[in-house]
Amino acid sequence: MIPVRAYWRLLRKYLRPLRARVVLLAVLLFTGIAFQVVNPQLIRAFIDGAQEGADMSTLLSYAAVFVLLAVGHQALSVTSTYFAEQVGWTATNEMRAALAEHLLDLDMSFHKTKTPGELIERIDGDVTTLSNFFSAFVIHVVGNSVLLASVIFLMWREHPLIGIGMTAFALVAGLLMIGLQAVAIPWWRAVRGKRAEFFGFLGEQLGGTEDIRANGAVPYMMHRFTLIHREWLPMEVRGRWGFSMLWATSIAVYVFGLALVFGLGSRLLTAGTITIGSVYLVFHYTELIRHPIDQIRTQMEDLQKAGAGIARVEELFAARTSLPEMGTRHLPDGPLAIEFDGVSFAYRDEASDGESVLEDVELDLAPGRVLGLLGRTGSGKSTMARLITRLYDPSDGVIRIGGIDLRDVERADRRARIGMVTQEVQLFRATVRENLTFFDERVDDERIWQVLLDLGLGDWVFGLSEGLDTMLESGSGGLSAGQAQLLAFARIFLRDPGVVILDEASSRLDPATEVLIERAVDRLLENRTGIVIAHRLATVDRADDILILERGRIVELGPRRELAADPETRFATLLRTGMEELLA
């Protein structure tokens, strides 16, 4: 059966702020339902009148009232469309934003399993199915049920037998529709799941056309397109069965009513219990309940889809981050100390068997010092960076920043004070300003220009057709790797953190351009604690300390000058022989 309580909770949560509009909408819709009942009566009165030869003025006034009511009804329906759309969009937008926020808060292990394309469909597509649920569902179902109940009440007045028959039948039909509605929810849920899978697939394809084309994989990807659609088609067809079953029920209800009128009516008439006029009236009422039944049926069809959407949305809301944000403490001002106290870490997902990426790492970096982090690909360097930025929590041990356990630091504070630049620079299709501030409108232009000038980007932005308002393409389109990298630096500068991590930040730059960036890096590390991850020795020239990682363990740690001076150390060997020996 449908989880009525869950639906109610949702309605309350998202409609409460819209209370006034919902009430107005309810009034409009109820009035509309009343109009629908009255208008056919008028036509009937008119026809009866014409048949009985009523005088022309009476007929004219019937016609005039009919037209007036019809026009009024239309005005009402436009107004209620407007309010229903307002309520629907406002409520679903609220839900979209809440869902997006919730998903952004989930940890990286969640995002490693979900493609952006799939999340687009889940946040935008699934939620959209709820629009009618929020704006009109309850009102329509309640309104039409009231209508139905009053017609049945009128039947009771004609004859108890007819009343009992219709009541029993309406109850059975209602329960049947509710039951059938619930039966189809998992079917639609499967459709929505498949849709999300397809859009996830599609997003990847659209982002990887170059790889696919140049490696001759187009036929294969089209084949996968076909495979997804082959699974999708039967699901869609099955979902339609849900609709069909509801519709069949409503046809059966109507026909049963008709048969009841025929059978019972003729019998009672013969017995002399009721008049022919009553039989006609009952017949007329049967016609009258057709409309509310159809309305309820349409709403139930919609609820089949909405129910599937609700279930999928709730499922996402139920996902919990493994990194709860409970911290309330604030980091001290200025450069921050970094301390690793017996830290071990293992990724727990399919791509790794839980083997430790970091093992018992001990590090004590004083505020303002710069640490050069060296090691081969996969030695755990980037993992250290991800732990310091709390993208993950250590499996064992404690990380302290500025002397405070990282888990106890308030989130906003942590994000503001710990900055990281990676080699992947993600740009948004938005203006230069929005790219620099992540759409934060509170950052003023003066400060942005200051940072751009400091980084030597001033001339470039000044030369753009619309300066800070110039649109950038998404991905890295339109910018050279060097420019993108400098923009990433500018993002960090704007926040003025106490810790800066550069994770292979300059590796995509050619050596000549890298020299130009050196100055920017110097500025960035000035009076901050820094961690510079590199596989090029020149990059760690500015480091005070050197740490060499191998398979997740520290194999060397110490002040750079001391290590360089001692010919026995790995670092000194590296310096002598170049990077070739790093493997040793």
Partner 1 sequence: MIAKDIPTAQLGLGLIKYQRGRYLLNVLTWASIWVMPMIPALITKAFFDRITGEATAGFNVPTLVMFVVVYAVGRIAVMFLGMWNDAHLMFRIGTLMRRNMLERIFELPGAQSMKESPGEAISRFRDDVDENVESFSWTVDMIGLFVFSGLAVWILVGIDGTLTALVFGPSVAVVYLAAIARHRIRRYREASRHATGRITEALGETFGSVQAIKVAGAEPSMIAHFRMLNDRRRVAAIKDKVLTAMLESLFWNTINVGTGIILIVAAGAMRTGEFTVGEFAVFVYFLGFVTDAGFFLGLFIARYQQASVSFGRMVELMGDAPPMRLVKPISLHLTGDLEAPDVVPPHLAPLEVLEVRDLTFHYPDTDDGIEDVSFAVPAGSFTVITGRVGAGKTTLLRAILGLVEPQRGDVLWNDEVVEQPAEFFIPPRSAYTPQVPRLFSMTLMENLLMGRRDPETEVKDAVASAVMEPDVENMPEGLATLVGPMGVRLSGGQIQRSATARMFVRRPDLLVFDDVSSALDVETERVLWERLFRERSGVTSLVVSHRHPALQRANQIVVMHQGRVAAIGRLNDLLATSPEFRALWEGEEG
Using CB under 8 A as the binding rule, whether residue 536 contacts partner 1 is answered as yes
CB of residue 390 to partner 1, shortest distance in Å: 9
* DSSP 3-state of 468: helix
As given in the structure block, the two tokens for residue 398 are 């404690």
Nearer to partner 1, 117 or 307 (CB): 117
DSSP-derived secondary structure for 66-130? HHHHHHHHHHHHHHHHHHHHHHHHHHHHHHHHHHHHHHHHS-HHHHTT--HHHHHIIIIIIHHTT
CB of residue 345 to partner 1, shortest distance in Å: 14
Check residue 332 and report its DSSP letter.
Answer: P
Among 56, 271, 318, 326, binds partner 1 (CB under 8 A): 56
Check residue 137 and report its DSSP letter.
Answer: I
Contact 531, 385 (CB under 8 A): yes
Check residue 499 and report its DSSP letter.
Answer: E
Using CB under 8 A as the binding rule, whether residue 207 contacts partner 1 is answered as yes
* Interface region with partner 1, contact rule CB under 8 A, candidates 27-35, 141-149, 234-242, 521-529: 234-242
Kindly identify the residues of this chain, within the stretch 350-409, that bind partner 1 according to CB under 8 A: 350-353, 355, 376-378, 382, 389, 391
Using CB under 8 A as the binding rule, whether residue 278 contacts partner 1 is answered as no
Using CB under 8 A as the binding rule, whether residue 100 contacts partner 1 is answered as yes
Query: Phi, psi at residue 475, to the nearest 5°?
Result: 75, -125
Using CB under 8 A as the binding rule, whether residue 210 contacts partner 1 is answered as yes
Nearer to partner 1, 73 or 145 (CB): 73
| Helix spans in 432-474 (H) | 432-437, 445-454, 458-463
CB of residue 381 to partner 1, shortest distance in Å: 10
* DSSP 3-state of 171: helix
Using CB under 8 A as the binding rule, whether residue 326 contacts partner 1 is answered as no
Contact 454, 523 (CB under 8 A): yes
Check residue 368 and report its DSSP letter.
Answer: T
Using CB under 8 A as the binding rule, whether residue 416 contacts partner 1 is answered as yes
Say how far apart CA 118 and CA 124 lie, in whole Å.
Answer: 10
Say how far apart CA 583 and CA 510 lie, in whole Å.
Answer: 23
Which helix (H) or strand (E) is 13 found in, with range? helix 4-15
CB of residue 309 to partner 1, shortest distance in Å: 15
Instruction: Name beta bridge partners: 557.
Output: 547
CB of residue 570 to partner 1, shortest distance in Å: 14
Using CB under 8 A as the binding rule, whether residue 121 contacts partner 1 is answered as yes
Kindly identify the residues of this chain, within the stretch 243-262, that bind partner 1 according to CB under 8 A: 243-244, 247-248, 251-252, 255, 258-259, 262
Nearer to partner 1, 41 or 209 (CB): 209
Nearer to partner 1, 124 or 544 (CB): 124
CA dihedral 440, 442, 445, 446 (to 10 degrees): -130
Using CB under 8 A as the binding rule, whether residue 233 contacts partner 1 is answered as yes
According to the 3-state scheme, what is the secondary structure of 546-576? EEEEECCEEEEEEEHHHHHHCCCCHHHHHHH
Say which amino acid occupies 538.
A
Say how far apart CA 437 and CA 448 lie, in whole Å.
Answer: 9
CB of residue 4 to partner 1, shortest distance in Å: 28
According to the 3-state scheme, what is the secondary structure of 222-263? HHHHHHHHHHHHHHHHHHHHHHHHHHHHHHHHHHHHHHHHHH
CB of residue 202 to partner 1, shortest distance in Å: 6
Q: Which residues contact 401 (CB under 8 A, 6 or more apart)?
A: 331, 336, 337, 338, 339, 388, 409, 414, 417, 418, 499
CB of residue 521 to partner 1, shortest distance in Å: 14
Kindly identify the residues of this chain, within the stretch 418-477, that bind partner 1 according to CB under 8 A: 418-420, 422-426, 428-429, 434, 437-441, 473-476
Kindly identify the residues of this chain, within the stretch 12-51, that bind partner 1 according to CB under 8 A: 43, 46-47, 49-51
CB of residue 114 to partner 1, shortest distance in Å: 6
Among 21, 291, 329, 411, binds partner 1 (CB under 8 A): 411
Among 41, 209, 322, 573, binds partner 1 (CB under 8 A): 209
Using CB under 8 A as the binding rule, whether residue 206 contacts partner 1 is answered as yes
Nearer to partner 1, 30 or 283 (CB): 283
Nearer to partner 1, 86 or 145 (CB): 86
CB of residue 481 to partner 1, shortest distance in Å: 5
As given in the structure block, the two tokens for residue 462 are 């000044």
Q: Give Rg (Cα) of the chain.
A: 35
Mask: binding to partner 1, 476-515, rule CB under 8 A, as x and -? x-x-xxx--------x---x--------x--xxxxxxxxx
Q: Which residues contact 548 (CB under 8 A, 6 or more apart)?
A: 374, 375, 554, 555, 556, 557, 570, 571
Instruction: Name beta bridge partners: 364.
Output: 339
Among 6, 38, 63, 565, binds partner 1 (CB under 8 A): 63
Among 35, 169, 283, 449, binds partner 1 (CB under 8 A): 283
Among 97, 146, 453, 565, binds partner 1 (CB under 8 A): 97
Among 187, 201, 285, 493, binds partner 1 (CB under 8 A): 201
Nearer to partner 1, 74 or 322 (CB): 74
* Interface region with partner 1, contact rule CB under 8 A, candidates 93-101, 294-302, 398-406, 447-455: 93-101
Q: How many residues bind partner 1 (CB under 8 A)?
A: 167
